[in-house]
Amino acid sequence: MNHEHAFVCGNPALDFAATLRARRTLRFEMFSTPDRLDAWFVESGLVDTVVPADDDDVEHAKALREAIYALVTARRLERQYDEAALDILNLAASKTPATPQLTPTGRSTEATAQQALSSLARCVVELLSGPDVPLLKECENPECTRIYVDRSRGTRRQWCGMESCGNRFKAAAYRARKKNAPSTASG
């Protein structure tokens, strides 16, 4: 399967929150159509198959995503939770989640968008009430707004992912050093 979405945050709910990219600048929307939402659910591994979403599902997903981002950011910065964001999250978490089933060939999870969103909301509840809160970081690439769980040794990770932001940032720093290096040619 060709993955069109990135999963570098260390938690499905954080990867979900990152589907609105470059929030401070370009604001690139990953859920432009219902089939993009469906693809995210399957590519994330949250479900194996999904009942096709509609436009209302996309709007609910975006609302939940923004609530997740607001709550994770508040927790990371040790601020109060936004009440409206809490209401959106808790309502989604109260719905029936995606339920895995045992089949003759193994585990299979089929879900509606609402069930998948409920599973994500429950994931946020666990994340923000659990031991990984001190490990939440925002990518140091100023263009990127992904929040990730830093499980690196010494928690010194700087970027959401080396293959995306890390390599880009390192290449730009290298070019800047090369440009500003004193010339060795004598004049």
- Has residue 174 got a pLDDT over 70? no
Domain that holds residue 99: 12-133
- Has residue 159 got a pLDDT over 90? no
Is 171 exposed, middle or buried (CB count within 10 Å of its CB: 0-12, 13-18, 19+)?
A: exposed
Given this model, what pLDDT does residue 26 score?
81
Whether 20 maps to a domain, the answer reads yes
Q: What does the pLDDT look like over 71-82, one tens digit per residue? A: 999 999 999 999
Mean pLDDT of the 153-170 span:
76
Question: How many domains, in total, are found in the chain?
Answer: 1
| Cα 9 to chain centroid, rounded | 6
Whether 144 maps to a domain, the answer reads no
Whether 98 maps to a domain, the answer reads yes
Which of 38-42, 91-95, 141-145 is the least confident region? 141-145
Whether 89 maps to a domain, the answer reads yes
Whether 83 maps to a domain, the answer reads yes
Average pLDDT, whole number, for the chain?
89
Whether 157 maps to a domain, the answer reads no
- Has residue 3 got a pLDDT over 70? no
Q: 128 near 72, Cβ under 8 Å?
A: yes
The residue assigned the tokens 């990730």 is: 148
Higher pLDDT, 166 or 89: 89
Give CA angle at 65 (124, 12), nearest 5°. 45
Whether 165 maps to a domain, the answer reads no
Mean pLDDT of the 99-113 span:
96
- Has residue 8 got a pLDDT over 60? yes
Whether 3 maps to a domain, the answer reads no
